[in-house]
Amino acid sequence: MILVAGSANLDFVVRAAHIPAPGETVLGQGFTTYPGGKGANQAVACARAGGAATAMLLALGNDAHALPLLASLESVRVRLHTLRSPDQATGCAFICVADNAENAITVAPGANLCLQSQHLPELQDVSHLLMQLEIPITTVTAYAQRAQASGVQVVLNAAPAQGLPPELLQAVDLLVVNEGELRALVTHPGTVVAMLRQLEVPSVVVTLGQRGCIARQQDAYVLQPAFKIAPIDTTGAGDTFCGTLAAHLGRGETLAQAMRTASAAAALACTASGAQSSIPTAMEVEAFLGQQPVVDQSQIDALKSYCGLDAS
Ligand code: RIB
């Protein structure tokens, strides 16, 4: 079983021509709410990817915003360990999606901050614990240490970007970050590969948007160029990647195999609006992969060059 411990937010989304600059007001084109939150998005992605069962530990308020979040997780049969906070509101995220598909997100964490070390359920039957950073970092550290002591693989998506305490990094088996998040973790900014070398974690995956992704596994590198799509909304694409990756690792696939499927799922997630609403099923991902051309050496070379791998 894959256990996700993390946030659930109701996303309040407005589309606009561009993301407002500080002090600017822009007129949007429409408003929608979607189930979101990095933890819940990853749990839905993991469940839609199939394979091992998915469970989630989350905290919600006793309010109406919690209802669509529960409904979305239950619709894909995620086994829920839900803490209800009597005095904190369910987490909310305020998202502006621009016409170029990029977004800006502000989170009001609310009940997500109520998750404490004592809330972690029994880890019997859990192969992987998947976490993010929208719950207290002390809680993430305590869960990672308990999982490590129980022989559970710890997968940490270090998002949103922040520095991590060494005791947390020591308990992580696989770290997944984007380039900005990677930069927040190292003392010496440099090429992607130079930054990857500074992290003392067994495996690290760096997602690079339209370029693809790279992983360092001990001293070896895995490269996966991105699949070409016409993006509408990139919200939740990183979460789709993480949830799908964990599901496929849970099936015993190699990191390279899991990265390929996770990249395809993340690409598809960019072609529809919203976070959980845009996460594809395993069948959709398989059909998409079946239509893809063989990877060109020039794509690999471009990715290597961007990451600074050819110069090392
Ligand atoms: O990664 C996207 C998610 O970030 C959104 O669903 C929002 O809730 C925030 O947690």
Residue 219 is a catalytic residue: no
pLDDT tens digit sequence for 81-101: 999 999 999 999 999 999 999
pLDDT tens digit sequence for 247-268: 999 999 999 999 999 999 999 9
pLDDT tens digit sequence for 114-136: 999 999 999 999 999 999 999 99
- Average pLDDT of the residues of the chain: 96
Q: Where are the domains of the chain?
A: 2-6+39-59+122-307
Ligand 1 neighbours (beta carbon < 6 A): 7, 9, 11, 36-38, 41, 93, 105, 107, 134, 235-236, 238-239, 275
Q: Which residue has the tokens 């060109």?
A: 296
pLDDT tens digit sequence for 11-37: 999 999 999 999 999 999 989 999 999
Confidence of residue 312 (pLDDT cuts 50, 70, 90): very low
CA 285 to ligand 1 center in whole angstroms: 22
Task: Specify the pLDDT at position 78.
Answer: 98
Question: Which residues does residue 207 pair with via DSSP β-bridges, in sequence order?
Answer: 178, 213
- CATH for 2-6+39-59+122-307 is 3.40.1190.20
- For the CA of 91, the nearest atom of ligand 1: 8
pLDDT tens digit sequence for 146-195: 999 999 999 999 999 999 999 999 999 999 999 999 999 999 999 999 99
Task: Specify the pLDDT at position 52.
Answer: 85
Name the percent of the chain lying above pLDDT 90.
96
- For the CA of 238, the nearest atom of ligand 1: 1
Best mutation site among 113, 239, 242 for ligand 1 pocket (most ligand atoms within 8 Å of CB) = 239
- For the CA of 34, the nearest atom of ligand 1: 6
